[in-house]
Amino acid sequence: MADASYPTELLYHPEHDWARIDDGTAVFGITWFAQDALGEVVFFDPPEVGSTVTAGESYAEVESVKAVSDVVAPLSGEIIEVNLGLGDTPENINNDPYGNGWMVKVKLSDSSETDGLLDAGAYEATLS
Amino acid sequence: MAAASADTALKRTPLYDKHVAAGAKLVPFAGWEMPVQYGGGVKAEHLATRATAGVFDVSHMGEIATSGPQAEAFLQHLLSNDVTKLQTGGAQYSVLCREDGGVLDDLFTYRLGAESFLTVTNASNHDKDLAWFLKQATGFDVTVTDVHDQYAMLAVQGPQAREIVQALADGPLPDRFTCRHRLLRGQRVLVCGTGYTGEDGVELLIDPADAPMIWDEVVKRGAVPVGLAARDTLRLEVNYHLYGNDLMEERGPIEAGLGWACKEATGFIGSEAVAAVRAAGPSEQLIAFTMASGIARQGNAVVGGGEVTSGTMSPSLEIGIGMAYVPAAMAAEGTEIQIDVRGKQRAATVAKKPLYKK
């Protein structure tokens, strides 16, 4: 498992989700803290491409050995891609939460929503 | 008020410091602070037990000693199995039933002598079982004693488990489903050829003061510390019941598939109810299932009737597995069922037990 980290180029939702924003689209995933709390992820149930997600609401489920957790969208939009690789290797969510453990790519519907997210320092402050 | 707060404080086993040192994540379980997993993770602990050996602290499990001239007759009255078939040095699985056949607990009983037995209880049921034993003892010439404080319990399980424990012992270890006292590194231990993983191995009933030393000795020889989470995935792969999930007072042993451990002719408490269900056939049965995709969990409904009682991702099989009570008409092996997993229907197949076999 990787060491704790919160990359500064990402924005964070207090429910332990991150967004990597790139020109009207964003990639979502869960933070190091979230995967550590979950333990070993054994199943990721992705949403459908084309479905819409709403900031602050669940868009997918991730299961560890013992528990299932909702994954919350940090921003609103339409899903344009899902990480199908997680079907075979859900452990990437643990091993590489900001890289190969990404979950969905979203076409953002309201770019001003990013104002409501936290930067890495502010998010880390919520963890202590 | 002081007494109340003491009652609610979590109890610690004699191995608590060993768990902390081994990097355990400790959680409350049945009133005990127990290791759910260690640093290496659940999957690694599970697979190590299947491939080499794991060591489990199960000191939260309780022990009740029954002794006296009528000890055998008394246990025959309480336990579902035929206790007269249990020889000195033997181990026997049974259930403890209410008058209506509902399951109070499932238990291993070891016969230590003609008039001496030791019964291991589930931690969550220990107080209830003890009260039941004491209540039923009226009229029998027996002494029932809570000996939970006198034992720590370690399970060493896996293909290398016996070799590891043998290296500490003053003589041969007991065979499967037997028990005997041995000196392990000079300390007297009740070694039992039992377990909850589907692997060969032993369970050790130890003086609490000796438990840390025995723990160190088996870990030093390669046994991997395994927490409660992997204990659960290991037992579920081989379809051992977990009380509170797959067994409960509201259900009887026949529907749970434990008819083999019930000898109604002995007249045990609940035997009439059990015999009636056996004769008529249970309306629901506990089945094992595998899933094409996803994981069903305890409490998920089975479409057409019934409920999942245990569900997990199998580390050995790498698919979702579980057990569920379903209507008898849906219980045949190979039956395709649908499970409502948080609003999404997922396909599962009724499968032969045990789901995992070497």
Residue of A38, A44, A58, A66 for testing the chain B interface, max B β-carbons within 10 Å:
A66
**What is the nearest CA distance from B37 to chain A, expressed in angstroms?**
10
For B34, the 3-state DSSP assignment is strand
pLDDT at A3: 83
Give chain B positions within 8 Å (CB) of A71: none
DSSP string, A53-112: E-TTSEEEEEEESS-EEEEE-SS-EEEEEE-GGGGT-TTHHHH-TTTTT--EEEEES-GG
Q: Which residue has the higher pLDDT, B342 or B112?
A: B112
Nearest to B153 by CA among B96, B92, B194, B197: B194
Percent of chain B having pLDDT more than 70? 98
Report whether B162 contacts B202 (CB < 8 A): yes
A63 contacts chain B (CB < 8 A): yes
Q: Which residue has the higher pLDDT, B40 or A11?
A: A11
Ranges under pLDDT 70 in chain A: 1-2
A119 contacts chain B (CB < 8 A): no
Angstrom distance (rounded) from CA B199 to CA A96: 34
A66 contacts chain B (CB < 8 A): yes
Q: What is the pLDDT of residues B199-235, one digit of tens each?
A: 999 999 999 999 999 999 999 999 999 999 999 999 9
| Confidence bin at B5 (pLDDT 50/70/90) | very low
pLDDT at B82: 98
Q: CA torsion angle for A99, A102, A105, A110 (degrees, to 10)?
A: -90
Interchain proximity B313–A66, CB inside 8 Å? no
A32: alpha, beta or left? (left if phi > 0; alpha if psi -120 to 50): alpha
pLDDT at A1: 57
**What is the nearest CA distance from B173 to chain A, expressed in angstroms?**
34
User: Taking 60 as the threshold, does the pLDDT of residue B93 lie above it?
Assistant: yes
User: Taking 60 as the threshold, does the pLDDT of residue B71 lie above it?
Assistant: yes
Handedness of CA B326, B330, B336, B337 (dihedral sign): negative
pLDDT at B345: 96
Predicted ipTM?
A: 0.78
pLDDT at A121: 96
For A37, the 3-state DSSP assignment is helix
The C-alpha angle with vertex A93 and arms to A87 and A97, in degrees rounded to 5, equals 140
Amino acid in position A5? S
Report whether A74 contacts A30 (CB < 8 A): no
Q: What is the pLDDT of residues B221-279, one digit of tens each?
A: 999 999 999 999 999 999 999 999 999 999 999 999 999 999 999 999 999 999 999 99
| Confidence bin at B39 (pLDDT 50/70/90) | confident
A45 contacts chain B (CB < 8 A): yes
| Burial of A50 from C-beta contacts in 10 A (0-12 / 13-18 / 19+) | exposed
User: Taking 60 as the threshold, does the pLDDT of residue B145 lie above it?
Assistant: yes
Instruction: For residue A9, count other CB atoms closer than 10 A to its CB.
Output: 10
**What is the nearest CA distance from A114 to chain B, expressed in angstroms?**
30
Residue B169 sits at φ, ψ, to 5 deg, of -100, 155
B321: alpha, beta or left? (left if phi > 0; alpha if psi -120 to 50): beta
Interchain proximity B294–A45, CB inside 8 Å? yes
Helical (H) or strand (E) element with B8: helix B2-8
Give chain A positions within 8 Å (CB) of B310: none
